[in-house]
């Protein structure tokens, strides 16, 4: 039996909106094993993005614990969590989140440069070739289409060989054809790199490509089952 790569225990998150506390997650617990591909689905406002953010160490829960690769994220400083993200995690976002002032190549190089690694351009170029952007290396995000931008984002996510990849609606801003192409690319790279994948999506077609689905509603985890059974139901 393997120790979970990610363990969430009784996660609760409350935001203060004005003077009113708003609880967006209630006692959510689950574990993810290495190599899993997990989709978090649910209607808008169900807490799935908040859950993803907490699991990736982008925020800390109000109560409960998150253990990532044996490390408790709650007790870490923000800069320590940033270090963990840089070393072990990758991200793909719905709105691509590329740095507008950097070229495609520079965007992909950033995570490795942050580690202080040298001669990172060759690895970045290779990844950009793998995502089909060999001729777009020196283009700025504003000169790329949405699909191309998301491929750059994917190359940036995989360049550090992350243990886990977090994706927030990775195809949400793309047309059908681009979405299909991106999905194939995401799972292909994920398989090749042996990455654990956690993604948030509304798209059941995308969700069913994972081997496990967590269904959220009203801030609670209401179902945790295999993708096949959820799609069938």
Partner 1 sequence: MIEYTIRLKRISKTILADGWVWRMAWRDARHNGLRLALFMASLVVGIMALVALDSLNNSLQNDIDRNAKELLGADILVNANRPFEAELKSLFDSIPHPQADEADMASMVLFLHSGSSRLIRLVALRGAFPFYGKIETQPADAYEKMKDGGCALLDETLASQYEVSSGDTIKIGNSKFPVAGVVTKIPGGGGILSTLTPSVYIAWAELDSTRLVQYGSRVNYRKYIKTASDEQAVELAGKLKPLARKYGHGFDDVEERKRELGEAFQSVYRFFSLLAFIALILGCIGIASSVHLYAREKRAEVAVLRCIGSSGWQAFNIFFIQIFFLGILGSFIGSLLGIGIQQLLPFLFGNLVPVEITLSVSWLSVMKGMLLGTVMGTLFSMLPLLSIRFVPPLTVLRADFEEVKVFSKAKVAAIAGVVLFPVAFAVWQTGEAVTGLLFVAGLVVALGMLALVALLLLRSVRKFFPTRASFIWRHALANLFRPNNQSRVLMVTIGLGAFLVATLNIIEKSLLSQVEFSGRENQSNTILFDIQPWQKEGVIALMKENNLAVNQVVPIVTCRLAEVKGEPIDVLQRDTTDRVPNWALTREYRVTYRDSLHHSEELIQGELQRKSSGKDSVWVTISEGMHENLEVTVGDSLVFDVQGVPVKARISGIRKVDWPKDPPNFIFVFPAGVLEEAPQVYVTSTRIADQQQANQFQQRLVNEYPNISLIDLRLILSTVNELFDKLGAVIRFMALFSIITGLVVLAGSVINSKFIRIKENVLLRTLGARTRQINRITLIEYGYVGLFSALTGMILSLGGGYLLTTFFFKITFAFSWPELVTTIAGVVFLTILIGWWNSREVIATPPLQILRKEV
Binding site for partner 1 (CB under 8 A): 1-3, 5, 34, 49, 52-53, 58-59, 69-71, 76, 78-80, 82-88, 91, 93, 97-102, 106, 110-111, 113-116, 140, 142, 156, 168
DSSP secondary structure code for residue 161 in this structure = -
**Dihedral sign computed on CA atoms, order 99, 109, 147, 178:** negative
The rounded distance, in Å, linking the Cα atoms of 182 and 154 is: 9
Nearest approach in angstroms of CB 229 to partner 1 is: 26
> Is there a contact between 200 and 49 (Cβ–Cβ < 8 Å)?
yes
The residue among 125 and 230 lying less far from partner 1, judged by its C-beta, is 125
The rounded distance, in Å, linking the Cα atoms of 13 and 66 is: 12
The residue among 115 and 129 lying less far from partner 1, judged by its C-beta, is 115
The residue among 75 and 232 lying less far from partner 1, judged by its C-beta, is 75
The rounded distance, in Å, linking the Cα atoms of 13 and 54 is: 9
Largest Cα separation within the chain, whole Å, is: 52
Nearest approach in angstroms of CB 232 to partner 1 is: 30
The residue among 151 and 156 lying less far from partner 1, judged by its C-beta, is 156
Nearest approach in angstroms of CB 69 to partner 1 is: 4
Nearest approach in angstroms of CB 74 to partner 1 is: 14
The rounded distance, in Å, linking the Cα atoms of 67 and 201 is: 23
Nearest approach in angstroms of CB 128 to partner 1 is: 16
The residue among 84 and 204 lying less far from partner 1, judged by its C-beta, is 84
The rounded distance, in Å, linking the Cα atoms of 150 and 153 is: 5
């Amino acid at each position: 039996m393997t120790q979970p790569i990610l363990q969430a225990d009784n996660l609760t998150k409350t935001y203060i909106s004005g003077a009113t506390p708003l609880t967006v997650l209630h006692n959510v617990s689950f574990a993810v094993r290495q190599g899993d591909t997990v989709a978090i689905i649910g209607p808008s406002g169900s807490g799935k993005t908040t859950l993803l953010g907490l699991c990736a160490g982008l925020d800390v829960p109000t109560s409960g614990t998150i253990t990532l690769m044996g490390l408790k994220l709650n007790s870490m400083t923000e800069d320590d969590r940033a270090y963990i993200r840089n070393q072990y995690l990758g991200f793909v976002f719905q709105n691509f989140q590329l740095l507008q002032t950097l070229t495609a190549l520079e965007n992909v190089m950033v995570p490795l440069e942050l580690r202080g690694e040298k001669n990172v351009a060759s690895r970045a170029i290779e990844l950009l070739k793998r995502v089909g952007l060999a001729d777009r290396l020196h283009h700025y995000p504003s000169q790329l289409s949405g699909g191309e931008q998301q491929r750059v984002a994917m190359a940036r996510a995989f360049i550090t060989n992350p243990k886990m990849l977090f994706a927030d609606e990775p195809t949400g801003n793309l047309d059908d054809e681009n979405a299909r192409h991106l999905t194939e690319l995401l799972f292909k790279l994920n398989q090749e790199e042996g990455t654990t994948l956690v993604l948030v999506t509304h798209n059941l077609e995308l969700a069913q490509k994972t081997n496990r689905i967590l269904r959220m509603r009203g801030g609670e985890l209401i179902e945790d089952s295999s993708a096949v059974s959820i799609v069938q139901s």
